[in-house]
Amino acid sequence: MKLKVLCSMLCFAFLNSAQLRATEEQQVQIHLSIAEVEEIFNNPNRLYVYLGEEVSVIPQVIAEVSKLEDNQDSLVRALADHLKRGFVIGYYETVLQSLEQAQLVLRNHADALDKKRAFALFEALNEIITHVTAHNLSLNAERLAFLKDPVIPENNDNSKKEVPTEVQ
C-alpha cells in the first residue's frame, strides 16, 4: 500500500542513539524527506544509515575523498553524488562499502594531501566506520515506528495529521 506523509517537504524525527557529533544523552533532530520516509517504511527489513551532517562528518569526508578518486564510477563518487543531491539516507551495506573504498582511495592518494590533513581524514574515516558498524547511525522502520501514526493511506487526503517533532 502506497503511503503518504502529510507534512511539508521535510519530516522531523529524533534519533536517540550515540552520534558522532552528539553525546548519548542528547537528542538530535534529523530531517528526512517524504520519499526517504516512504523508502524506509516500504522496506521494513532493510537497514539504512543516516548521512546528515547533523550527526556525522560523512558528507564532508566523502566530498573531500571523492575529489581524490580517479574512477568516475566508484562507490565513493556515487555516495558523494547521492549526498550532493540532498539525500541523507543510504543502504547500510552500500554505505559501508563506500567508506571502506574511501579508505583505499585515501591510502593510494594520501601523498597528494598535506600530512596533517591526510591523517585527519584517516582518523575521521576510521571513526565513521566504527560508528556505522556499531549501528549508531542506523535507521529502519522499527526505529521510526513513532512516525506510523502520521502516515496514512494515500486515498485519504482529507485527514490532516502532523508529524511529531519530539520523541521521548
Q: pLDDT for 53-89, tens place per residue?
A: 989 999 999 999 999 999 999 999 999 999 999 999 9
The domain total for the chain is 1
Q: What percent of the chain has pLDDT over 90?
A: 61
pLDDT mean over 17-34: 62
Which of 16, 34, 27 lies closest to 151 in space, CA to CA? 34
Question: Would 55 be classed as within a structural domain?
Answer: yes
Question: Would 160 be classed as within a structural domain?
Answer: no
**pTM for the full model?**
0.74
Q: How confident is the model at residue 158 (pLDDT cuts 50, 70, 90)?
A: very low
- Which residue do the cell numbers 539525500 mark? 87
* Number of alpha helices (DSSP H) and beta strands (DSSP E) in the chain: 5, 7
Q: How confident is the model at residue 134 (pLDDT cuts 50, 70, 90)?
A: very high
Question: Would 138 be classed as within a structural domain?
Answer: yes
Question: Would 166 be classed as within a structural domain?
Answer: no
* pLDDT score recorded for residue 147: 67
Q: How high is the mean pLDDT of the chain? A: 78
Q: pLDDT tens across 111-132, in order? A: 999 999 999 999 999 999 999 9
Output the CA–CA distances (angstroms, integers) from residue 22 to 19, 38, 53, 55, in the order listed: 5, 26, 11, 7
Q: Which residues, other chains included, contact 121 with Cβ-Cβ below 8 Å and sequence gap of 6+?
A: 61, 64, 65, 106, 113
Q: Domain range for residue 76?
A: 3-153
Question: Would 84 be classed as within a structural domain?
Answer: yes
Question: Would 60 be classed as within a structural domain?
Answer: yes
